[in-house]
Structure 1
Amino acid sequence: MSDPEQPGGSGNQYRNIRINKGAKAQLGDIYHIGREDPLRLLPFATHAPFNSYDNQHEPDERRIFWLNGLAGTGKSTISRTVARRFDERKRLGASFFFSKDVGDVSHAGKFVTSLAVQLAKTVPFLQRQIYNAIAEQNNIANLSLIDQWRQLVLGPLSRLEKFHQSYLLVIDALDECEGDNNVRIILELLAEARSLKMVQLRVFLTSRREIPIRYGMHDIPQAEHQDFVLHNVPSQIIDHDISLFLEYKLGRTRREWSLGADWPGEVVLRQLIYKSCGLFIWAATAYRFISEGKEFAEDRLIEILENTGFEGTPEQQLDQIYLTVLQSSIPNTFRAQETDRLYARQRKVLGSIAILLSPLPAAALAKVIGISSAQVTQTLERLQAILEVPKDVAGFLRLHHPSFRDFIINKDRSKGFWVDRKGANQILAVGCIQLMSQTLKKDICEIHAPGSQASQVERSWIDKCLPTEVQYACLYWVQHLQRGSSQVHNVEEAHLFLQAHLLHWLEALGWMGKISEGIQAILALEGHVLVYGSPSFHAFIHDARRFAIYNRSVIEQAPLQLYCSALIFAPQKSIIRETFEKCIPNWIEREPKVQAHWSAALQTLEHLDAVNSVAFSPDGKQVVSGSYDWKVRLWDATTGAALQTLKGHWGDVKSVAFSPDSTQVVSGSSDETVRLWDATTGAALQTLEGHLSYVISVAFSRDSKRVVSGSADKTVRLWDATGAALQTLEGHLDWVHSVACSRDGKRVVSGSADKTVRLWDATTGAALQKLQGHSYWVHSVAFSRDSKQIISGSADNTVRLWDATTGAALQVFKGHLNSVHSVAFSPDSKQIISGSYDKTVRLWDATTGAALQTLEGHLNWVKSVAFSPDGKQVVSGSSDKTVRLWDVTTRVALHALKGHSSDVYSVAFSLDGKQVVSGSYDRTVQLWDAATGAALQTLEGHLSDVYSVAFSPDSKQVVSGSADRTVRLWDVTTGAALQTLKGHSGYINSVAFSPDGNQVVSGSHDMTVRLWGATTGAALQTLNCHCNKVTSVAFSPNGKQIVSGSYDMTVRLWETTTGAVLRTLEGHSEVYSVAFSPDGKQVVSGSGDKTVQVWDATTGAALQTLKGHSSDVNSVAFSPDGELLPTLYVLNDWLVEGHSSGRLSFLQIKQGSELII
């Protein structure tokens, strides 16, 4: 917790450092963040332990001094005193003062770069080293903390060629740094300074005793740090320091206002010290309150003594001094109504300052909360005892101490001055939205050139076009909306804002370099809207999430491309495309042809070379990838932002994996090593050596204590995570391409170029099973969650499922057109994902073997695939140098239509897509509303199972065929039976209307095809030629021909008018389904021989045989554009499925999605 006189800024507060323009652009304009301490540093020393700290010169002395204590005990005062002393002696290397409410010093983003620039000025010969590092890595300010530290601080210091004196780093209020992980990283980085040879870098660190810091310090050897607990210092020492402070400060007031020579007197001074309860913050607040009284300083001193008792806890004493300041802030000369208005305005201003997520100048705050700057200034005039109000109008408003925030939002402590946190957040949320609505516009920075790079635009110009208050609103409006009172009108106001300004907001974030924060805000808003918003708003924000994530890198690099490439490549039917179509520039005359809906691809992450391996962290927050560029990279799975680049391998990285606890990453490389890394800091933990050739695959055991690796040296090795070699498993006759551990840690599975999959005992190393069946190299293996099954992918183009206990082959998944290089189970083991050299990723049903989805987009071999922990996403790595994230939830059931009491045999959409008809074993025909799933009609009359149903072309009638040997026609509106067509002597398996709706065709178990008048019900034709049951019939698009499929293994084409057989198509076993292409030139058929045949409808010639199904092909169709796939395509991206339970499911699928029935 920072203290009353904390500078609150980063960097060295005591000298003006000039850096060249290039370095300044890279490291940030950090020297304008800090603020001058209005009380300045005290000219006296503090406790003896700190006095002696700068006398420690020996290189083996403890180099980190951790001063810790309760809030308000004076830690920051001591930090500044130490910093000033070392600066005067030219031995202050750098300083950084964290502050929870102060923008860039509330987090670690500018920590390393700030230290680096200060060290460049302080340490001779270091400046060139640091500037060279910036020149070599032009985006160094965007790298991870660990990379920045090693390239900007540790690296340059380690390259010094002669011995230098020791330098001190002062790091204040580390507990106010956002993110426990960042705190941990900083402590680990500071500890690395012990490795320096030519310079001794020591650290003076202050914080409260919070758990992350205590744990971090515990990880540093005791011999390397010294701890000092400030609140354990004897009270007489603390009281002495507070006495010196008050004497010094009140002495200035005495001289300024010519008060008595002995004012305030020894007795009063002792009373003030007693009331402070050892808190510097109390003493500092009391002094400020007294001194701001000017000629009334004596009256204010008396007010403090009279209004605050002598008994109570330190917190109670602090509350009393805060209440005294607030009660005195509004004179009692106003009428009651005026006083109430002033108090209300005070609460609005103070409440906003207290909960701001980053400080603002007074004028900026006024614009956000919608009052005049004069009113804000007037309100703050009498509150300078608790607020820092800078004289510079551009200066930032800040609380002198965070303890005031805790006070003002606590109703019991602050009494009538209480600020409702939710209400204050609501004020800020509404203010931010209104400000952005009034300000944001297209090309707000007036660049005019759509291709302009954000990095080429001067930051000063961006800040001029996007003032402080607008940048604040863009960054934090969603957080304030979430934290405020969740009123419907506030949420809808956000909806209206985004419908008008989503692109403007994203553009602004692009110029600000904050697009990742924007994506996080959209994700947070999506969750908020799901609870408090309308369905239409949720649909909008979901689409906005897809749009922003997919275009993240474009917006980041060239924000104006939002209106060009981002919009024109968005799917035609996406909500964002439809909403902002008018924003597409007129000079784009011909837009590219794009898909109608978002594909499964979420985002693309780029390496410099082919990506060999990818994996999700178990918590789903990160993705790790390994590449031919010798690097391991960590990515934010939500935003796609690069988090870490792990360097150390000197060959391509073949395999990567997270530990189950997400704390470590393991990698295997062609440099013959296995390496362990800290997933948070990126630090190299272990290098495991022993393999005699490439390490191709690595994995962790479930308990994270062991690592297994497979190598081109034909062995599998087990390692302790500490680095010790445990087992070498020998038996494979060729390279080991893949390894995995069972969930219980008892077994290891490996796949090899010797075409086998092998199971091993992880404890003894004994060989348990040898699974044979693949005809070429096995590239990938994985255990199911329960460890009862194993999946393998091979260069023979297949995926195989095995029983892990018996070794029996359970399934063979066929469909890939090239080598399968990677396989994985979904978290529930119900699905399998595979990546292939055919450039596709495929999703399979693990139980049935059915192909569920094919994900296309990679431009080269897919070398690695993995599921996210929730099973909703898949990550893939490819030789096209990209990592891609995919949404595999596009096949979500939208409606479950319950009404049938038994198996559903047949379903069909009306041609207008508004209704669905279904036929069932329960002898009924049901009509449903396709949009809502509501039951419209139950058509009863059949005396047995209904096997086939179809709509007329005008959607006014339905035809049904039944096991009762009749065909029935029904009125869709009334449900009335129109006709019963009798003549068949066997079950009716298939029915269809002619394109003009005048005729009906039916196919039956009696081996005939019959043609009927749809209006009269008259029998028109009986087509005899089949010698077994007819399973499927259909009209050609022009109605002149009929096609039929039969168990006699033939497909027949008939002339509708004469009933003559035109063609007999042979080549199948039993034929289950037939259909015409939309242009009538081709016929497709599906068969019990597991193939789909395409035929020329004119000549009868076989055009194509499609193989890949693992069971009978029961249904076939052409897509609306005439392209044939061995799948069922449905109207307007909707699919309806019938179930043996009597239930119907509506599924919405993307264009190009497939389902094998």
Structure 2
Amino acid sequence: MTGFGDSRAANGGLSFQGYVAGDILNLGLTFLDAGRSNSSELFDDLSEAAFNARSREHWPLCLENTRQSLLEQIHNWADAKDGKHIYWLKGMAGTGKSTIALTIAQQYSEKERLGASFFFSRGSGDLASAEKFAVTIASQLARNLPGFEEHVDDAVVSHPHIRKVGLYEQWEKLVLEPLSLLGKRTSSSHAVIVVDALDECNSEDDVSLLIQCLANAAAISGIYLRVLVTSRPEQLIDFGFGRISPDAREDFILHNIEHFIVDQDLKLFYEDRLVHIAERFNLGDSFISDGIIQTLVRKSDRLFIYAATACRFVYDGGPLLAQERLSSLVKLEKQSAQPEKELYKMYAAVLEQSFQQNYQPEEVARVYTAFNRVVGSIVVLSDTMTPAELSALIFEPQDKILAVLRCLYSVLDVSEQAGGRIRLVHPSFRDFLLDATKAPDRRISVDAKATHRDLLFCCLRLMKGYLKRNMCNIEPPGTRVHKIPKARIDQFISRPVQYACCNWIFHLQHSDVNLDGEFPEMIDFFHDHFLYWLETLAWIERLSEGVTMIKLLAARLTRQPSAIDTHFTLSRLKSKWKQSPKTHSPSTALSLVSDAMRFLLRNFSIMEEAPLQTYCSALLFAPQKSMIRKMYIKQLPQWIVQQPEPLENWGIHLQTLNHSADVRNVSISLDGELVASTDVRGMIYIWNATTGKKQRTIHFSWARSIAFSPGGRMIASTGRRDKELRIWDVATGKEQRVRFSGYEYRVIAIGSFRSDQQLIASGYDKRVHLWDAITGEISKAGGLRSTPSRTTPQHTNLSTFEAIFTTNKPFSLLFSVF
């Protein structure tokens, strides 16, 4: 390393100050760190996902003498030392799945046999994502399963960058392998894992992968592991569980329990809660009757969320309004044939009475406006917030927010403890508010697009007010992210600011903002705060999301549904825009966003490691005509007294994917989202094409030629001496059971797949073969003029099956059509 103009360049190899002579990205900047990591240092686990998290402190368990048969069945399954490993409890919204999951988790925790739990929650940030699933389960297993911590600590030492790899590789290294090692040492470990509301995970791809992760963990020999999963009966989840052998899983449909059993449980629930309310407020024996309870049971129509919300509504009425509220629920119009409609009618009654009973008629209009601003924000935010945090984000006084929330304790869970976040009692309340057809009074429905627009501008306003250079007041500009305690980062970058940085594009995508018109706020943001935004994302370890956000913004500007091509083909699209004399033209926005993407991609690896290098190395090596460089060149530190002569323009180089050995072959998925590469050692690497992050390594000796399937879920490879083609699962890195064999010559070139059913390949016999992906057999063959080489550009046509092979001869291409 060579520092320019400053003697503090190296800092003992732990931080980088100054810049490296040469091409930083091609060299691959390496930071050295001594000492042994362990799970406690590595895991930024999600404590809020556990069953006993503070946010679930007041969640009810199954009432005594209710759900007896089902709970007994689950206990028998969990306690068995043989039989099925997976129990899938599926049911419609409001049927009590989460209460059952919480009860089982609590009971097995008391038995000291709960291995781990993860309760997903839509609209709750990390709780709606699988990003921290593996580390959270591993962290809990390390605390709860004797002997597991030692093996997971070893895994952390062996894989120090485990947090940066894909979900399945994390699961494999942090859960599967430690469990397997533990199973070889002992046969007495018996644990239950509870996963609730799988359908509330926000990525369909991750949902499918999570099912596979859990199935693989439950099947490990030597460990008596049982996995309980709850979800709505959605098609994607049903397909995922359908891939697990019926001998390994137990399915139970909650909403198919006989009506009289559910009604009896609801009757016990209403009796318990209403008696408690009567005693709490001294309402006397006349408060409830068998007729009232029977009516409420009938209206609940097997939905426990109806019963729970109804009782909360009555309780919140206090001694003066409890009786009136109970009567209003009993008198609701004739029961609908659809249970969800009964629930929505109750939500409407709750909101109507909450407002009308607490405010004068002339005040109601202002209250509904405040309701839409506050509650509308709550239901469309991608994460939960405390009242103070929500106040900072939407620029409303906290007292005003609390005043609205006090009317809605029946449907919103607002903790009175400091730091308590606002949560929906049930996701169905969000569905009710966002669908105008479900609300009889349009004043209580939420216009999602308008609310997202409002939140977009709130995010921009907040970032413009708080983002600055050196957000965390760090002195050495080469300081690594992982050297700064998270508590310090959170101290300087508040949760509302973090939320704004990570979600302003999310709100733009779902808003009614028209980028064809005036949107000077976006141009101003890139002009004045772009580098501060990148630095902030790097400190909170979300810089890869910045790449995705800029990509989405470019897609929006080019009027495309997605921006698969990272270069965005701007030269072909700028001509389509009409100039606006009032403000910055769309072509200006396109050029600026494109330049911003190039700047981020080229410097991603160093900014991710050392955020303050955004103002040093990144700016120094940006091309002279880069718009970002011109805007921010004055941000260069004064101690850099000698600057290099950068290139004039960006050129065609977008990004570098660093390998530790020479690259042999490359394949790109059809949707442009993934890149696969092989090196001279034969390893196969899967990369995220957007962020440049390595997602998976497939350990296979001498992988020579590779090709993605059209869906990007499989990849085919052939080895140095193989007479077979092998198919790998991209997500897990596992080899599929079918091998393509029966070929007398070594396969050296793969053409392409067709509809995941067939692939084309050739070898030393100068023939092209079409292989059947189901049977693994050759179904058709054709001849070539000479032997193809390992380099294989590929093309698939819907009507014909085409492949182009290169040869070792100059200016020679081989073309084959089936």
TM-score, normalised by the number of residues in structure 2: 0.85
Map of 1:719-1118 to 2, 5 A cutoff? 720-721=772-773, 724=776, 726=777, 746-747=780-781, 761=782, 768-771=783-786, 780=791, 793=806, 798-801=810-813
Correspondence for 1:327:
352
Structure 2 contact 155–174 (Cα < 8 Å) conserved: yes
- Deviations for 1:781-809, whole angstroms, at most 9, x for unmatched residues? 6677678998665556x22246769xxxx
CA deviations on 1:49-106 (whole Å, 9 max, x unpaired) are 4312322455541221111111111111111122222222222221111111111110
| Counterpart residue identity of residue 425, structure 2 | H
- Asked if 1:24 corresponds to 2:40, the answer is yes
1:347 and 2:368 aligned: no
5 Å-filtered alignment, 1:121-270, equals: 121-160=143-182, 161-261=185-285, 263-270=287-294
| Max Rg structure | 1
Structure-2 residue corresponding to 1:941? none
- Residues 657 and 700 of structure 1 are in contact (CA less than 8 Å); yes or no, is this contact kept in structure 2? yes
The amino acid that maps onto 1:721 is A
Shift of 1:596: 1.3
- The one of 527, 537, 553 equivalent to 1:499 is 527
Distance 1:719 1:412, change over 3 A: closer
Cα deviation for residue 507 of structure 1 reads: 0.7
* Aligned CA distance change for structure 1 residues 598 and 251 (closer, same or farther; 3 Å): same
Q: Which residue number corresponds to residue 710 of structure 2?
A: 660
**Alignment partner of 1:601 is 2:658:** no
1:933 maps to which residue?
none
Which residue in 1 is equivalent to 2:546?
A: 518
Q: Secondary structure at the match of 1:66?
A: strand
Q: Deviations over 1:233-288 (max 9, x none)?
A: 11111111222222222233233223325742222111111121211111111111
Structure-2 residue corresponding to 1:681: 732
Change (3 A) 1:671 1:399: farther
Aligned residue for 1:40, secondary structure, equals coil
CA distance in 2, matches of 1:325, 1:790: 64
**Which of 583, 586, 590 is the equivalent residue of 2:638?**
586
The offset of 1:675, in angstroms, is 3.0
Q: 1:639 maps to what in 2? A: 691
**Distance in 2 between residues matched to 1:21 and 1:263, nearest whole Å:** 62
Provide the C-alpha distance between the structure 2 equivalents of 1:213 and 1:303, rounded to a whole number of angstroms.
39
| Residue number in structure 1 paired with 2:670 | 618
Q: Cα distance 1:430–1:769, how it changes in 2: closer, same or farther (>3 A)?
A: closer
CA distance in 2, matches of 1:90, 1:801: 66
Tell me how far 1:309 sits from its aligned partner: 4.5
Q: Is the 8 A contact 2:752 2:803 kept in 1?
A: no
Q: Distance in 1 between matches of 2:470 and 2:681?
A: 38
- Residues 769 and 133 (structure 1), Cα distance of their counterparts in 2 relative to 1, 3 Å cut: closer
Confirm or deny that 1:389 pairs with 2:405: no
Query: How far off is 1:490 after superposition?
Result: 6.7
CA contact (8 A) 2:198 2:229 kept: yes
SS at match of 2:545: helix
Cα gap change, 1:523 to 1:440, in 2 (>3 Å):
same
2:609 counterpart residue number: 557
CA contact (8 A) 2:128 2:201 kept: yes
**Which of 495, 498, 511 is 1:471 aligned to?**
498
Distance 1:654 1:444 in 2: 47
Verify the 8 A CA contact 2:804 2:816 in the aligned structure 1.
no
Report the CA distance between 1:723 and its aligned residue: 7.1
8 Å CA contact retained: 2:704, 2:719: yes
Task: Evaluate the alpha carbon distance shift between residue 564 and residue 783 of structure 1 in structure 2; reply closer, same or farther with a 3 A threshold.
Answer: closer
After TM superposition, the structure 1 = structure 2 runs for residues 230-379 of structure 1, keeping only pairs within 5 Å, are 230-261=254-285, 263-296=287-320, 297-307=322-332, 309-310=334-335, 313-331=338-356, 334-379=359-404
Aligned to 1:71: 93
Deviates more, 1:567-576 or 1:623-632: 623-632
Mapped contact 2:453–2:512 kept (Cα < 8 A): yes
Q: Is the 8 A contact 1:325 1:385 kept in 2?
A: yes
User: Does residue 1:431 correspond to 2:451, yes or no?
Assistant: no
Which residue matches 1:1021?
Answer: none
Deviations 1:148-198 (A, max 9, x none): 222122211111212125322111111111221111111112222354221
Once the two structures are TM-superposed, the CA of residue 590 in structure 1 deviates from its matched residue by 2.1
Q: Check 1:803–1:28 CA distance in 2 against 1; reply closer, same or farther (3 A cut).
A: closer
Inter-partner Cα distance in structure 2 for 1:788 and 1:407: 49
Q: Which amino acid aligns with 1:320?
A: K
Give the distance between the partners of 1:792 and 1:221, measured in 2 at CA.
41
Q: Which residue of 2 aligns with 1:91?
A: 113
Aligned position for 1:972: none
Distance 1:771 1:669 in 2: 20
CA contact (8 A) 2:705 2:792 kept: no
Name the structure 2 match of 1:53: 74
Taking only the aligned residue pairs, the percentage that are identical comes to: 33
The alignment partner of 1:419 has SS state of coil
Is the alpha carbon distance of 1:779 and 1:305 closer, same or farther for their aligned partners in structure 2, counting shifts above 3 Å?
closer
> What's the secondary structure of 1:449's corresponding residue?
coil
Greater Cα shift, 786-795 or 129-138 = 786-795
CA distance in 2, matches of 1:388, 1:706: 53
| Separation in structure 1 between the aligned mates of residue 285 and residue 143 of structure 2, nearest angstrom | 46
Measured at CA, do residues 791 and 671 of structure 1 come closer, stay the same or move farther in structure 2, by a change above 3 Å? closer
The aligned amino acid for 2:811 is V
The equivalences for 1:690-709 within 5 A come to 696-706=748-758
**Aligned-partner residue type, residue 488 of structure 2:** W
Q: CA deviation at 1:616?
A: 0.5
Query: Structure 1: how far apart are the matches of 2:134 and 2:688?
Result: 21
Instruction: Name the aligned partner's letter for residue 113 of structure 2.
Output: R
Give the unaligned 5+ runs of structure 1: 1-19, 728-744, 748-760, 762-767, 806-1157
Displacement, 1:330? 2.8
Question: Which residue identity does 2:785 align to in structure 1?
Answer: K
Where does the alignment leave 5 or more consecutive residues of structure 2 unmatched? Answer: 1-35, 560-576, 578-584
Higher relative contact order (CA 8 A, sep 6+): 2
Q: Could you tell me how far 1:405 is from its partner in structure 2?
A: 1.0
CA-to-aligned-CA distance 1:1052-1103 (integer Å, 9 cap, x gap): xxxxxxxxxxxxxxxxxxxxxxxxxxxxxxxxxxxxxxxxxxxxxxxxxxxx
Q: Cα–Cα, structure 1 residues 457 and 691, in superposed 2: closer, same or farther, change >3 Å?
A: farther
Matched, 1:40 2:60: yes
1:311-357: per-residue Cα shift (whole Å, max 9, x none)?
Answer: 56323321222122212333557554433222211111010001001
**SS state at 1:604 partner:** coil
1:490–1:174: structure 2 CA closer, same or farther, 3 Å change rule?
farther
Shift of 1:664: 0.8
Contact 2:615 2:635 in 1 (8 A): yes
Deviations 1:117-138 (A, max 9, x none): 2222222211211121112111
Compute the displacement of 1:699 (Å). 4.4
State the match for 1:380 in structure 2. 405
Q: 1:708: Cα distance to partner?
A: 5.6
What is the CA deviation profile of residues 522-547 of structure 1, one whole-angstrom value per residue up to 9, with x for unaligned ones?
11112223459622122111111111
CA RMSD of aligned residues (A): 2.9
Kept in 2, the 8 Å contact 1:789–1:803? The answer is yes
Question: Deviation of residue 363 (structure 1)?
Answer: 0.9
Aligned mates of 1:236, 1:122 — CA distance in 2:
39
TM-score normalised by length of structure 1: 0.61
Q: Which moved more, 1:383-392 or 1:255-264?
A: 255-264
Residue identity in the other structure for 1:292: D
In 2, the alpha carbon distance for the partners of 1:550 and 1:619 equals: 22
